[in-house]
Amino acid sequence: MSGASLLGMVVLVAARYPQPVSLTVPVAPAASRTAFVHLFEWTWDDVGQECEQYLGPMGFQGVQVSPAQEHVVLPQQGYPWWQRYQPVSYRLESRSGGRQAFAAMVQRCRQAGVQVYADAVINHMAGIEGGTGSGGTAFTKYSYPGLYRPEDFNACRQSVSDYDNAEDVTQCELVGLADLNTASTHVQAEIVTYLQDLVSLGVSGFRIDAAKHMRSQEVGTLLTQLQQRVGPGLYIYQEVIDPGTEAIKKQSYYSHGNVIEFEYGRLVSETFLGQEGRQLADLATLEEAWDLAPSSQAVVFIDNHDKQRGHGGGGSYLTHRERPLYLLANVFMLAHPYGTPQVMSSYSFFDSDQGPPADADGQTRRVHQGESDACFQAWVCEHRWTAIGQMVGFRNATAASSAVTDWWSNGDNQIAFGRGSRGFVVINREAAPLHRTFATQLPAGRYCNVIKGGLAPSRRDCQGQAEVITVNASGQFTAAVAGVDAIAIHVGAKLPD
């Protein structure tokens, strides 16, 4: 079936998908935690509560939070999301909350077994001509009181215009943002002190925003200085958008930590959309065929906050708006061992600048509201969709097996594969049902299909609509998979004998 025909039917099958998972969830068994979520624009209080009620019990490794530093405030533009990416100072006063709330959130998450990764905006400061920040700091471009003066910025005072020129990319201004001279010892000291402060509050790692727009050696210098102060062990992943046709290469940043592999989301999305002649059978050799970063270096996603809005380069990316295909793409990402997966958690928007759900004065509305919450309404909360949340458990349960085993495809858009003796997944992107007997390495027994729900809290039954899949003594099971649907089973969702 063509991509266009398939997209035409997704609305028809959407109602068949199970409702998003309830917050009544069993505690995740002790296992390697291997996936994290981006709670985009959530308040610190909401992040802390989500760690306790959902992320910890479901086995998420970590949570990426929005930039914590003071930022510009733009009421005339409707308080856009990107105001968070225009720093005014390194005070922890943002629209997600203040320093005390941030510190409390980090501790709540750590106690729930969830690490906090801060989005570190250190390439630049604000790009507007002047104003007052979210913490009350008055500033003008290139002059940020008590922090930076004009001489702390690169001499190129114009926007990047030539992505084939590494100096232009790293020394000029990303969309007019005041570009810090990260070769300066003063600038380095201020940045490292800021990051050290976040670590002192319990932050476990950093997303280095716009790393591509800083010279690799300067990123390395900053991180080395930070490690000298706080010790090793921080999880570092860098935003290096490398389509393979520009001067800046992701390989230059490998020595500093992981890189975000933007090409993965594009290529997997295009495959599930049926674009460029791609079909699911092609996913058998994705790492080798697509020249992706080594698995151990890559952070992968189906979409992120930029790609949802058409920013950060080209390409087609599935989002929550194409729910059935988006679910299947996330099932694949979380089942396949390549990279470290980042799950997206969004809010609804109608234009690419729109900020999070907020009051008229720009105050972000809470997700958690007493005994209820606003998930699946203005806040999309994809991470709580049954299939996505449960597949995080699949990822954890299969982490001990790094290989793909027992690969099968129909040569088109039906695939299945195992993760050794730990798990097995079947994905049917075609409209017609798939009925087949599959060979696995799983132990004999009865398993919950986690696409529809995992083990019940009693651990003796499956949740909700989750059917039971029986694997025989030969490791085989026979199942019917509906069109645009999937089955996933793993040892962590095996019913007692």
With 60 as the cut, is the pLDDT of residue 497 above it? yes
* pLDDT tens-place string over residues 380-433: 999 999 999 999 999 999 999 889 999 999 999 999 999 999 999 999 999 999
Q: How far apart are CA 497 and CA 459, in angstroms?
A: 12
pLDDT at 172: 98
pLDDT at 15: 35
Among 421, 493, 496, residue whose Cα is nearest residue 26: 493
Q: Where are the beta strands (DSSP E) in 309-387?
A: 340-345, 368-369, 372-373
The neighbouring-strand residues paired with 477 are 438
Which whole number is the average pLDDT over 88-93? 98
* pLDDT band, residue 10 (cuts 50/70/90): very low
Asked whether the beta carbons of 484 and 6 are under 8 A apart, the reply is yes
Which tops the pLDDT comparison, 267 or 316? 267
* pLDDT tens-place string over residues 315-346: 689 999 999 999 999 999 999 999 999 999 99
- In angstroms, the first-to-last Cα distance of the chain is 41
Tokens of 309: 């809005």
* pLDDT tens-place string over residues 425-467: 999 999 999 999 999 999 999 999 999 999 988 888 999 888 9
3-class DSSP state of 384: helix
pLDDT at 314: 61
pLDDT at 457: 85
* pLDDT band, residue 313 (cuts 50/70/90): low
Query: Catalytic amino acids?
Result: 209, 239
Among 436, 425, 440, 448, residue whose Cα is nearest residue 474: 440
Among 178, 177, 184, 179, residue whose Cα is nearest residue 167: 179
Asked whether the beta carbons of 139 and 133 are under 8 A apart, the reply is yes
CA distances from 336 to 7, 30, 343, 403 (A): 24, 21, 14, 9
b vs e for 222-239, b when ≥16 Cβ sit within 10 Å of the residue's Cβ? bbebbeeebeeebbbbbb
With 80 as the cut, is the pLDDT of residue 312 above it? no
With 70 as the cut, is the pLDDT of residue 283 above it? yes
Which whole number is the average pLDDT over 80-105? 98
The number of beta carbons lying within 10 Å of the beta carbon of residue 29 is: 13
With 90 as the cut, is the pLDDT of residue 21 above it? no
Phi and psi for 347 in degrees, rounded to 5? -125, 160
User: Interior CA angle at 208 toward 203 and 212, to 5°?
Assistant: 175
* pLDDT tens-place string over residues 46-57: 999 999 999 999
* pLDDT band, residue 211 (cuts 50/70/90): very high
Q: How far apart are CA 39 and CA 26, in angstroms?
A: 21
Q: How far apart are CA 251 and CA 297, in angstroms?
A: 10
CA distances from 200 to 118, 238, 257 (A): 13, 21, 20
Q: How far apart are CA 57 and CA 47, in angstroms?
A: 14
3-397 folds as TIM Barrel (3.20.20)
Q: What percent of the chain has pLDDT over 70?
A: 93
Cα Dmax for the chain: 72
The neighbouring-strand residues paired with 409 are 415
Among 301, 366, 343, residue whose Cα is nearest residue 55: 343
With 90 as the cut, is the pLDDT of residue 5 above it? no
Q: What is the DSSP letter of 252?
A: G
Which CATH homologous superfamily contains domain 405-493? Golgi alpha-mannosidase II (2.60.40.1180)
pLDDT at 3: 43
Domain ranges in the chain with CATH number 3.20.20.80: 3-397
CA distances from 261 to 22, 295, 298, 339 (A): 32, 10, 6, 9
As a whole number, the mean pLDDT across the chain is 93
pLDDT at 27: 46
- What contacts 329, CB < 8 A, 6 or more positions away? 268, 269, 272, 302, 318
Domain ranges in the chain with CATH number 2.60.40.1180: 405-493
Q: What percent of the chain has pLDDT over 90?
A: 87
With 90 as the cut, is the pLDDT of residue 366 above it? yes
* pLDDT band, residue 248 (cuts 50/70/90): very high
Asked whether the beta carbons of 389 and 18 are under 8 A apart, the reply is no
With 50 as the cut, is the pLDDT of residue 13 above it? no
